[in-house]
Structure formats: structure tokens, C-alpha cells
Chain A
Amino acid sequence: MIFQSFFTTVSNIKPDKLAELRHLLDNDINADLSNNKYIPFSKLPNVHYCRWCIVDSAKNADGSDAPPMLLFQIIFDGKREAFIKGFLQDFASGIDKIYQYCEDYPTQPTYESRYSYFRKFRRKEPLAWTAVRGGTVEQILKEEKLRRGIEVFLDKNPMQQEQPETIQQRIKAFVSNTPEYQWAMTPPSKPSVVWKLAYYSKLVLLILCGIVLSPLILVFAIFWVLLLLYYEKQDNKHIMPLKRELKPEVLKREDLLRQNQLTEYGTFKGPHWFRYTNIHILLFVSSILGKYKSTKGNLGGIETIHFVSWAIFNKNQNLSFLSNYDGGWQSYLSEFIDFAASVMNLTFGNIKGYPKTRWLLKEGAHEEQNFKMIVRAYQYPCQIWYTAYPKLRVKNILRNAAIRKGLSRKMNTQQLQNWLKLF
């Protein structure tokens, strides 16, 4: 089984080259994502999502302007190092074209210096979550084609009078007799025993650590919550007023497809060490939950996220939230507010300008319009955003995978009935 990986970098842009970089990204690359001469995404069949985003109005912790930065994230199938090495080699001229506008990029880039630049400016994501673990781009696209094929077969061959078993047999016969779909009769690959062993032993280890250290954790947690409550009181005294606005640059790029991206970027509140530690604790706990609990395309009640990650940049002064999601901004934000407002308070609550919270969990994101306003205020337009399957939702992907699985799985009557309901 192949797993997906994230790779995120943040570079400082040479301030006098900002306009040129913007032009390159907006006009030369974004105008034709598939076949532009720099980064032609049609030649990147293993890439799920990719974005380049100019962050030009972030603030440092002391309130001064942060330098303009270029945020890059690519999500792909396979091992990180091998992919990035290949990517930097195959698209060297495009990469050089973009990064010549960034500070510290080698003037005469070589294969090695390019790679070491990207390694140097890489920012590890403390939390990176994937909705469909192990669903490669190839598999996602093929399974969609398969579903479409079977649906058309069903349209042409009405079988309302048949028994479920007969329908199943006929679908199977159709799939195995169509060369294009034959692959689907073999079951999808499963995680290896080694992987499973590592996965579960890590969980066991975590639980054991948790049990052994529980008295310590409890004492620490009480102390930490009290500190949080103290700072909450302080924070509420100085909430920065934010500009309530429609952002044309963001709206211009939104809802062009049936999926959207969100790029949020904020500055930690003070005291800095405390916020930084706090977010690390929260993201660590969330990443465990994300890895072991939210495994079925559902992240805390939200079923529209394909990939989401958090990252910390700019000498640990800024926090970013990057997601690739289904549908429109309004519905995405509404889901956050309705199902995960308290989680938003705990995480985004560390960011300057966040609305007032009470007892850490209350108010904040529960104040719908206020919360949407702050999300917009800290949202950056993405000059380049690529998705490999713009027409598919998480739910579609999961359904397609279930259809394919059913072709090679033994099913009892109930399971068969449920499988037929997938069409």
C-alpha cells in the first residue's frame, strides 16, 4: 500500500521581486495548470494537491510586518524524499524560475543545492491529516471511471426484477469482461503486516506512556489549563478590531471548481513560548486522534476535508492552516462552527485577533458571523492551486472505493444489499 505524504516549505521573497513572482505564478503558470512550461501538472500523475501562495501581509510577534513569504505545499503518493528529489530534478527549470525571486536560493542552482535549499526551508507539519489513507491519485481516478462504467451498464440493463445475487453476478461479469475495468476484480492493496505492527505498537506505547505518566499529566494539565484561563482573561482585554471585508482576490479564485482550498495564516499571541508549546501539545493530541480515530474520511464530524495540515513558520511566530476541501466556503465554515467550534477555539485561539473566548471552549467560533469574518481576514489567496480530481468529493471517493472492494469481497445478504445501494 502506498501512503500519501506532505511537503511544505516557506521561503522569503526578495521584496523587490514580489511583483515579478506574482506575475509568473498568476499569468504564466496558473493560466494553464496542466500544460504550462514551468510546472505542467499533467506530468505529475502522483500529485493530489499543490499550492503556491504569496503571504505578503503577515505580522511578526511584535506587530511589525513580516517579510513577504512564498508558501509551497505539495501532497503526493509515496515516500517524501524520493518524490521531492524526482520533482526537483524533472521540473528544475520551473523551480529555478519561481525561486530565483526568493532569498537564499542559489544563483547557479545544481541538483544538490536545489535539494538542500528545499530541505532547509521545509517546515514539518505538526499535524497532517488525510481523509482516504492509501488512496492514490491513480486509484481514485480509476475507481471513479469504474463507477461511471458500472452505472451506465446498470442504466442500459434494467434489473429491478432480478435477485440481488444475479445483479451482483452480472456486474462482476461486466467488469471482468471489460478490459478497461478488469483490474478492479483484484482487491485493493492493504497495509503490510510490518506497517500494521508499527501502527498498533505505537498506539499501545502511547497508551502505556499515558497510563504510567497519568499522575504527572494530570498535574501538568491542571496547571496548564489555569495558565490558559489566566491568559484568556488577559487576551480578552485587547482584542484587535479586524476589517470586515469581502476579499476580491480570494473570491476571484474561489468556487471555480467543486473543491476549494483554504490558506489561513496568523501570528501567535504572547507570551510566545507559551502559545507555541500550547499549539504543539494540541496538535500532537489531534494528530494521534487523527491517526487512530478519524480514519474514515471524517475529521471530528467534518466530512468534506481531503487533506489538512498545520505548520509553524517565520521563526515560530506564525501558524498556518492549509486545507483542501469540498464545496463552498460558507458550508465548510458552517461545518467547522457547528461541529468543531471548541477545537477551533483551542487552536486558533492562540492567534492574535481571534474573537473573545470564555472558559477556553465557549464563545469564539461559536459566534458564527464573527468567526467567519476572522477566517476571511486571515485568508490568503493562492496564486496556484492544483487538485488532481476537482469533481470528486471525499464521499464520492469513499463510495467508489467501497464499490470496487465489493467486487472481490464475499458478502452475506445484508452486505450485498448495502453494496447495491452504493449505486
Chain B
Amino acid sequence: MSISYYGLQALKLSAESVYSFDLDFHEEGFASPIMQNRLRTLGDIGTNAPENWEWGGNDTDRANIHLLLMLFAKDDANLKQLCETFEKDFVTYQLEQVHEFFTSKMPDAKEHFGFRDSIAQPEIEGYSKKNASENVIKAGEFILGYSNEYNILPESPYAPETEDKKNILPTIANKKGYKDIGKNGTYVVFRQLEQDVKGFWSFIKKATQEVNGYDLERLGAKIVGRWRSGAPITKCPIHDNPDLAQDNDFNYAETDTDGMKCPIGAHIRRSNPRDAFMKEAKKSILFARKHRLMRRGRSYGKLFVENFDLNEILTKPDDGVKRGLYFLAVNANLGRQFNFIQQAWINDGAFQGLSHEPDVLLGSQTEVAEGEKTYFSMPQMPIRQRIETPQAYIHVRGSMNFFLPSMRTLQWIANL
């Protein structure tokens, strides 16, 4: 269960406590400079703008979203039962369900375009079996109350002692007279991303005709950075190797500096540049470690084509069914983690010196709106090839941040 900024107010946290939350978690009306800036930096403009969202896209609807409840069960029957139990509780406790999100089970952990998703996840230090891998990240990057990658405690929301008469909350470091609301809690970014499966693969099909030596699978893999199986193209650039389907043990600096295998602008390379963000690999890793997310996405909507057969996708008429991904990301510092990645790495057409190349999958359409053409280039010997990327095939349909509290904080809130 997680709580929105408006939810904190509805749950009667004091103004001082609400203010103590991450400033990037604070909300105002969409017309405010703060929200306008947030929309710009996240790229939520044009087709991604709030007026096109299915929920939370206008001030009234948004202010009514207080809680995000996520229910998990081992099968449909159990889930149904669980939902019914909660629905009864909603009536008892005068809660109104404002939106409902159904998820679908996807074969081989794939998303709707057919790519295996969620492979590169950070592991938490102290929780992971590995000790000193560059993928093992300090707990404080994902959970409040623990040391982060700067070896300091992340900012945590707090409440005056006087608001915790039953002494439920833990004390907070360096803040006398206050208790820690955040410890063992974190922030969750929740975004609904609608995917246009037919549109995406038709675009790739057309693009294969503009370049030499690429079929659908290979061009798609170049854009994503992984084959649909999940195998990273930096390791198997010419042909898919399903044995590497869940491989996350690779870097770019030594074997793929110029992006000849995995292009600089490929989705996975720009959302986590690993050791190749800067000339010095070690520095790059240290930098990249401070901009990681723990992703827990769930797909929704019926599959467009079973087995993700590309020929069938291209020939079948569009079915008008809405499908996509509920993107869920956990981070302790919204500005430095989610917002940063979205703005500096995904949306930025000049990422690492590229020109007009926002991420093909999730990049913002700011440049297109300005009348610029956008591209995706594939470095190769002796000279690169590039394709035009005229529009987006994934559209934001809702976006909101939530605070995921610890059990203790929930208990404290219940006693307010």
C-alpha cells in the first residue's frame, strides 16, 4: 500500500510533516510552475501530456487519488478472492475505488513488443549473494533509513515527537525532537505506458528498408539493446543467443566503446550506461550507480498476437485493444534517480553527444514538437547507418508518485 502526496493530507498528517517529504514528491495543480517544469523534464508533453491520461490527468481527479493498493496472489482465483475481501473493507472504511488496474501475465517475462523485460535489476548490498559487483547497490538508494551511494542517509520525511504520542516511529538521525516517517519506506513511481504494438513493428519494418543488412529482429534488437529473447546485443551483435536470455553481466567500455555492437542510443545503454558514460570506466560506474532504479513493471491488456510472431503482427489489422505496461520503479531520491534518468538519459536527444536522438522507446517528443527530425543511429565500420524516428509508439497514460511506507509508519498513520 502506498500513499500519494494528496493522500498524506487526507490522512491528516500535519503540514510540517507533509512538507518534509522529498520536494520532488510535492504536488500542486498542473498549471503551477512546479508541475509544468516536472512535465517538461519528464517529457510528459504532446501525446504524453496529462490531457491524454486515463487517470490523474486533471487536478480534480488527481487530488482524489490518495492510495495505491497493489494486490498479489498466486493465481486468478486467489486474486479475485483477495480483491473481494478488500472491496468489502472499502465499504466499511468509506474508501472509494477511483481507478482499477488489471494486469496480465506475459509469457517469458516479455512486454507487449515481445522483448524480455526486467533483466537488469540492481541488487541490494547486504541482501545480495554477490559482494563486490558493480551491480550491487547500497540499500539507501532504494530504502530510506540506510546509507546510500554517497555513504550518507537519504533525506527522510519526519514528524514532530508531539505527533507520535504512542511512540511508534523510530527516531531520526541529526534531528532532535523529530521522529522518522520514512525509515524502511521508499518512493514509488507509477506510470501507465500504452504500447502501440502494430505501430512499433510497422515502423521497424519500414526502417529496415532504409538501411542495409537489418531484418526486423535485428533492427528491433539494436533499438532496445537486447534481442527479444533478452540476450544483450553487445555480447551477440549478429545473431540472437537465447542462452544469454537473462544475461546482465556485461559492460561497454572495453569491448563496445563506440557502440558498434550496442548503439550509444539503444534503450538499455542509455537507461543504464554502465562503464561507458564517460571516458574513464571507473568514474562512469561510480556515476551510473547513483542513478539506478528497481523496476517492478506489470503488463496490461490482451496480447496483440500470441507468440509475438512478427509476420502476424504486421499483417493482422489493428484490434483497437488498449495494452501496455504499468511501470513501477522504486527509488529513495526521485530527483536524482527516476527524474534524472528520464530527463538526462532517456529524453535527451544529445545524450553522450548524439544529435537529435531521444530514446526510441520512451524518449520525449520535445524535438519533434519543435519541428526537428529525430533519429536513431547505428555506428558501424566504415560508416554509421541511421533511421528516422518520426514518432513515439509508447505513450504515457497516467503518472503519479507514491510513498511506500514501512509497517511501523502505517501503524503510526492509523493512530493519527
Could you list which residues of chain A lie within 8 angstroms of chain B, going by C-beta atoms?
147-148, 151, 154-155, 158-160, 162-164, 167, 244-246, 248-249, 251-252, 254-256, 258, 301, 303, 326-328, 330-331, 334, 337-339, 366-369, 372, 391-393, 395-396, 398-399, 417, 420-421, 423
Contacts and interface: CB of A to CB of B under 8 A. Distances in A.
Given A167-B382, A245-B23, A301-B278, 11 more contacts: A151-B355, A160-B383, A164-B382, A246-B23, A252-B33, A327-B348, A330-B41, A331-B340, A393-B353, A396-B350, A421-B258
B336 interface: yes
Interface string B17-55: 000000100100000111011001100000000000000
A417 B287 contact: no
A154 B385 CA distance: 8
Given A366-B150, A369-B155, A258 B349 contact: yes
A248 B386 CA distance: 40
Contact of B41 (A160, A328, A395): A328
A151 B386 contact: yes
Contact of B382 (A147, A155, A337, A420): A420
Nearest to B348: A327
Given A251-B34, A423-B384, A334 B290 contact: yes
Describe B's contact surface by its main secondary structure: loop
Nearest to A416: B382
Contacts of B40: 255-256
A157 to B, nearest CB: 10
Nearest to B387: A155
A423 B383 contact: yes
Given A160-B380, A328-B41, A330-B340, A367 B34 contact: no
A38 to B, nearest CB: 25
A155 B386 contact: yes
Nearest to A303: B278
Contacts of B145: none
A248 B350 contact: no
Interface of B: 23, 26, 32-34, 36-37, 40-41, 150, 152, 154-155, 210-213, 258, 278, 283, 286-287, 290-291, 333, 335-336, 339-340, 343-344, 348-350, 352-353, 355, 372, 379-386
A366 B26 CA distance: 25
B37 A252 contact: yes
A393 B350 CA distance: 7
B154 A369 contact: yes
A421 B226 CA distance: 23
B287 A338 contact: yes
A164 B258 CA distance: 17
A305 to B, nearest CB: 14
Contacts of A245: 23
Contact of B37 (A255, A417, A423): A255
A146 B152 CA distance: 48
A151 B375 CA distance: 11
Given A330-B344, A395-B352, A248 B152 contact: no
B339 A330 contact: yes
Nearest to A154: B383
Contact of A162 (B23, B348, B382): B382
Nearest to B350: A393
A246 B350 contact: no
Given A248-B34, A366-B150, A396-B353, A420 B383 contact: yes
A334 B336 contact: yes
A366 B286 CA distance: 14
Contact of B340 (A148, A254, A334, A391): A334
A258 B336 contact: no
A258 B23 contact: no
Nearest to A369: B155
Contacts of B150: 337, 366-368
B113 to A, nearest CB: 25
